[in-house]
């Protein structure tokens, strides 16, 4: 029978493992699984290679990749209490978002992983997951001295002086409740080159004969075999040609928190009634597919500087701040990135002036309580899904208040030396915006994303009705399919999540191969 009707034939390309998505997690799995020379692995990646492409490999060029040929550029639905103009960049290139983002690299906090265990994810506690840091191949280091811009140094000094928080030299040295300092990045400071998942994991092994890369190839449907098992994936190549790839052991879905659930839904796996309404015949009624859409929303406050800034930087957002708004809390609940450029895309749209020289602080909600969802609007695979993050809709108003508090904290830091002497004036929202209501209105309308969608195929216990995968990352109701990317997060880690994805992929490699985990000893808290 033909591959088109889902039964496959002798023309199917056959591998032991087919990895859908050559992004952060997919690169890790491709490397680890092909360590066994008898195992055949195929990686399907919708974008081109990053090998030798300085536009990708030069870290400081990240901002020019947004809304470019390397960006899928997903839009959001109307956000009544937020910014409806946010473009959610998703990388279209080998290495995925680790080839596209700023490579800010934090280990997850132990309490973040404890929360996963409490949500039914046995085996994902800090004592199991954090030891995988020993296995990471990326070079992760604090921003190098030559990249520490004087104004960023003075931001750190002013935050320490104004707020009394410690200066942290290495945020990954131990868990932290709060602090300010330069971030750790996955990069090679000597040449400002990325140490992305593709650079660290795939580039050194591209000549392995058991590794096949299918670039600029888009996977859009999973196909069942005669026994009902999902063993095949239908793909479309750059020239429009169709192909079916078959996995004899497992299909590994690593396409990210938007495209992994999108692929499942297009394949008939998700809320059955919704699928029928689009003319898609359900294979499995999994109501959690596309639910639990999480993000790290943040806003922005911009200052014009007295003149041009010194030119040195790793990626123009090299330092930051974490705060506990509640005394005695074990984790921060307010974060800031400090940008050495005026990030004014959203403020200009609101009528605020552009400035040639400036900086900004971005109050960020580390564990937002507003939860959204994504869904298909058409059975046509080329139509983008709908993304509704439901920003700032949590009933308690936690997310909104976090931004309001953050705006006030940012002004306090800006009014403190040595940062104060650099700043000419506050451009957005401007010093006349002072009440909670005014600050909230501005902060929500000027809000943006730091491109951290997660949670849409969440991991959970058997009695969790919205869990899509079990704690071994196996797709509920199917043998031989796992999901390995940020879509499995049951809750959002406090910190930038890239390293959490790397750790999850390293853990997944052990789950897939049956190797023992690297966990040993106690994790210091």
Domain ranges of the chain: 1-135+193-290+454-519, 144-182+297-364+392-446
Q: What is the CATH number of domain 144-182+297-364+392-446?
A: 3.30.410.40
Tokens 């390995």, residue located: 484
Write out 43-79 in H/E/C secondary structure: EECCCCCCCCCHHHHEHHHHHHHCCCCCECCEECCCC
| DSSP 8-state secondary structure symbol assigned to residue 104 | B
**Nearest residue to 42 via CA among 237, 234, 210:** 210
| DSSP 8-state secondary structure symbol assigned to residue 255 | S
Q: What is the pLDDT of residue 519?
A: 78
Q: Is the pTM of the predicted complex or chain greater than 0.85?
A: yes
Q: Is 452 assigned a catalytic role? A: yes
Q: What is the pLDDT of residue 7?
A: 42
- Separation of alpha carbons 427 and 407, rounded Å: 13
**Enclosing H/E stretch for 160:** helix 150-163
- Separation of alpha carbons 448 and 155, rounded Å: 22
- Separation of alpha carbons 269 and 445, rounded Å: 35
List per-residue pLDDT tens for the chain, 525 residues long: 233 334 445 568 999 999 999 999 999 999 999 999 999 999 999 999 999 999 999 999 999 999 999 999 999 999 999 999 999 999 999 999 999 999 999 999 999 999 999 999 999 999 999 999 999 999 999 999 999 999 999 999 999 999 999 999 999 999 999 999 999 999 999 999 999 999 999 999 999 999 999 999 999 999 999 888 999 999 999 999 999 999 999 999 999 999 999 999 999 999 999 999 999 999 999 999 999 999 999 999 999 999 999 999 999 999 999 999 988 899 999 999 999 999 999 999 999 999 999 999 999 999 999 999 999 999 999 999 999 999 999 999 999 999 999 999 999 999 999 999 999 999 999 999 999 999 999 999 999 999 999 999 999 999 999 999 999 999 999 999 999 999 999 999 999 999 999 999 999 999 999 998 887 444 444
- Do 390 and 372 meet the contact criterion of CB atoms below 8 Å apart? yes
Q: What is the CATH number of domain 1-135+193-290+454-519?
A: 3.50.50.60
Q: What is the pLDDT of residue 203?
A: 98
State the catalytic residue, choosing from 296, 337, 448, 452: 452
């Amino acid at each position: 029978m033909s591959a088109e009707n889902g039964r496959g034939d002798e023309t199917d390309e056959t591998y032991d493992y087919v990895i859908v998505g050559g992004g952060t997690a997919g690169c890790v799995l491709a490397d680890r699984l092909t360590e066994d020379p008898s195992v055949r692995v195929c990686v399907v990646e919708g974008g081109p290679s990053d090998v030798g492409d300085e536009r990708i490999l030069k870290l400081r060029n990240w901002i020019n990749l947004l809304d470019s040929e390397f960006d899928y550029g997903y839009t959001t639905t109307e956000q009544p209490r937020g910014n409806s103009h946010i473009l959610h960049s998703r990388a279209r290139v080998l290495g995925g978002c680790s080839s596209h983002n700023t490579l800010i690299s934090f280990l997850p906090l132990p309490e973040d992983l404890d929360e996963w265990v409490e949500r039914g994810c046995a085996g994902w506690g800090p004592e199991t997951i954090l030891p995988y840091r020993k296995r990471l191949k990326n070079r992760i280091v604090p921003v190098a001295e030559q990249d520490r811009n004087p104004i960023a140094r003075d931001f750190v000094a002013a935050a320490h002086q104004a707020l009394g928080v410690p200066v942290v030299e290495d945020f990954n040295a131990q868990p932290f409740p709060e602090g300010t300092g330069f971030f750790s990045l996955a990069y090679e400071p000597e040449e400002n080159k990325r140490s992305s998942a593709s650079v660290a994991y795939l580039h050194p092994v591209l000549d392995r004969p058991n590794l096949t890369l299918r670039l600029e190839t888009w996977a859009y449907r999973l196909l069942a075999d005669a026994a009902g098992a999902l063993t095949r994936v239908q793909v479309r190549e750059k020239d429009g040609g169709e192909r079916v790839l078959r996995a004899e052991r497992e299909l590994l879905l690593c396409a990210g928190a938007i495209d992994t659930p999108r692929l499942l839904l297009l394949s008939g796996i998700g809320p059955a009634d919704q699928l029928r309404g689009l003319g898609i015949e359900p294979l499995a009624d999994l109501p959690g597919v596309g639910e639990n859409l999480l993000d790290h929303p943040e806003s922005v406050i911009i200052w014009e500087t007295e003149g041009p800034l010194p030119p040195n930087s790793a990626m123009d957002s090299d330092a930051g701040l974490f705060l506990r708004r509640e005394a005695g809390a074990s984790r921060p609940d307010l974060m800031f990135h400090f940008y050495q450029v005026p990030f004014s895309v959203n403020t200009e749209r609101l009528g605020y002036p552009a400035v040639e020289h400036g900086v900004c602080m971005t109050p960020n909600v580390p564990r937002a309580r507003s939860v959204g969802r994504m869904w298909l609007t058409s059975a046509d695979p080329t139509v983008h899904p709908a993304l509704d993050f439901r920003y700032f809709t949590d009933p308690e108003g936690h997310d909104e208040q976090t931004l309001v508090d953050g705006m006030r904290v940012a002004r306090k830091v800006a009014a403190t030396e040595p940062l104060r002497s650099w700043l000419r004036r506050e451009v957005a929202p401007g010093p006349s915006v002072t009440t909670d209501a005014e600050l909230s209105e501005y902060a929500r309308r000027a809000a943006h994303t730091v491109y951290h969608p997660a949670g849409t195929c969440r991991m959970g216990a058997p009695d969790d009705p919205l869990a899509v995968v079990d704690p071994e990352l196996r797709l509920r109701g199917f043998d031989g399919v796992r999901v390995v990317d940020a879509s499995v997060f049951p809750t959002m880690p406090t910190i930038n999540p890239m390293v959490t994805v790397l750790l999850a992929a390293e853990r997944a490699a052990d789950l897939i191969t049956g190797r023992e985990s690297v966990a040993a000893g106690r994790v210091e808290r």
